[in-house]
Structure 1
């Protein structure tokens, strides 16, 4: 984890995710690429005038983004100094974090994906809406689209979540569709960096087919192969509603992070099902990390131009 991308729309939810990312970056010695994407109608029929107008808007919004980044860092740094003083440390011992503001005009998700490639970011941290995992506004459309389209791990932070370290991680995985080693690499790096306890959780229905059951047991060797040098525990849980089973386990273990494998991304849709109790939802309001299900695409510098032409 060297370069964390943090999208922002200047909302309170995005600001909280930025603070969370600052904590992670400071602890891991990473830098942050802070990106804001915007789009206003450009009515001029002359392409040159459109490009000039876009450049002026980007410059104006970049100044706003720089001010936002600087103000947030100053408050974050002051808060850390006060905390250090209270704990008996020196008030000056605040490790700096390099923040690179990037402002783009265009469609949000395509532009963020372009910035990911251009700035070689390796991790995404962004906010998710709602106070519980089951609210209709649980994930904004931007967050959900990035999870589905990005080749990077995407960490979604609840509105009021404050970083207090990562001590316990629940990895919800369908063993019958166990991820490849490449897909698991971000999780392995996270475990090594924070030295936390991993719970590998397989929730299954009572009437699964024999073939699926055999695949799940065959994958146990992969679990040991990929995590043998890391502290982990393996758990099986029978539950007809897989989503509810995962949430119950997260709540019981008081996990700091819920990780979803690519095969469990459909779980996001199930989390919006109101049949799961509000009590479970409230207890399971933890950050969510979606592992990528595909490799990084080849860099295409023409995409930005195409997008600007489409939205202009």
Structure 2
């Protein structure tokens, strides 16, 4: 791992994410980019060269002052969080958050995003979701979501929840990397629900086959019964006092996302535990 991206809005959760990123960077030798995006006003547009063009002088002045204040806040955040021995660079830009993050991932070859989240629920979640959820859905690298203070980030028990079908193999290298990074125990879990019920013996055989196929070590096999998959993952993680949950997501957008949803994105919104997601 060489590059970690930490988007920040200067909230407490964003600071928690920065602290976790520092911990991971010290373990891996990675450099961190701390990014703040000022959302582009609706009345602004792009020129042929890609520069932001404003249609109101007062608006341009407001954005310039906001950028100056943002750079000051960025400097305060970097000074507040101890990062001795870790290279930290900062960037402030005017753009949409998701689009900017996607461009930084491509330009900087980002290996991991560590992002704070307040979560969302109810009508707000249904209509727009959180920025973190949108990043989870669209990022082409793993995304680690942080909600609570955990500067030591000592991960010993990891839940890997999946149906363990063929496509999950695309994410296994990333999941194994994090398990090895923290020398953690991996708890493979299949949530058995009434709507798609299978015998425990069949499911345990399926999980054992997956463990052999992906050459996993230091793991347990678990079949957990619950009414829906999301609740099952949350309850299982609580039962074993997990330090992190790992899941793959299909990253659906638009109408298909609205209709089918995503368990991984729901977990990001509803659990206080760190969640590592990987888009298949």
**2: CA distance between counterparts of 1:203 and 1:269?**
17
The answer (yes or no) to whether the contact 1:65–1:101 under 8 Å persists in 2 is: no
Equivalent of 2:89 in 90, 93, 100: 100
The answer (yes or no) to whether the contact 2:4–2:30 under 8 Å persists in 1 is: yes
Q: Which runs of 5+ in 2 are unaligned?
A: 55-59, 252-260
Residue 174 of structure 1 pairs with residue 170 of structure 2: no
Kindly provide the CA deviation profile for residues 26-74 of structure 1, in whole angstroms up to 9, marking residues without a partner as x.
2322111111111343758995899476799988766655544443343
Measured after TM superposition, the shift of residue 208 of structure 1 is 2.5
The answer (yes or no) to whether the contact 2:45–2:53 under 8 Å persists in 1 is: no
**Match of residue 301 from structure 1:** none
Describe the shift of the 1:57–1:151 C-alpha distance in structure 2 as closer, same or farther (beyond 3 A): farther
Residue 150 of structure 1 pairs with residue 139 of structure 2: yes
Measured after TM superposition, the shift of residue 96 of structure 1 is 1.3
Measured after TM superposition, the shift of residue 285 of structure 1 is 2.1
SS of residue in 2 equivalent to 1:193 = helix
**1: CA distance between counterparts of 2:140 and 2:53?**
32
Measured after TM superposition, the shift of residue 236 of structure 1 is 0.9
**2: CA distance between counterparts of 1:192 and 1:50?**
42
> Structure 2 matches for 1:109-258, cutoff 5 A?
109-130=98-119, 141-175=130-164, 177-206=165-194, 208=196, 217-218=205-206, 220-228=208-216, 230-258=217-245
SS of residue in 1 equivalent to 2:86 = coil
Residue 259 of structure 1 pairs with residue 255 of structure 2: no
**1: CA distance between counterparts of 2:177 and 2:225?**
29
**2: CA distance between counterparts of 1:110 and 1:178?**
30
Describe the shift of the 1:99–1:59 C-alpha distance in structure 2 as closer, same or farther (beyond 3 A): farther
**2: CA distance between counterparts of 1:263 and 1:42?**
31
Structure showing the higher strand proportion among its residues? 2
The answer (yes or no) to whether the contact 2:204–2:221 under 8 Å persists in 1 is: no
The answer (yes or no) to whether the contact 2:190–2:203 under 8 Å persists in 1 is: no
SS of residue in 2 equivalent to 1:151 = coil
**2: CA distance between counterparts of 1:135 and 1:162?**
30
Describe the shift of the 1:220–1:178 C-alpha distance in structure 2 as closer, same or farther (beyond 3 A): farther
Aligned residues: 263
Describe the shift of the 1:249–1:43 C-alpha distance in structure 2 as closer, same or farther (beyond 3 A): closer
**RMSD value, Cα:** 3.8
**Match of residue 297 from structure 1:** none
Kindly provide the CA deviation profile for residues 176-212 of structure 1, in whole angstroms up to 9, marking residues without a partner as x.
x35443322211111111111110111112452679x
Describe the shift of the 1:120–1:47 C-alpha distance in structure 2 as closer, same or farther (beyond 3 A): closer
Describe the shift of the 1:181–1:269 C-alpha distance in structure 2 as closer, same or farther (beyond 3 A): closer
**2: CA distance between counterparts of 1:123 and 1:45?**
30
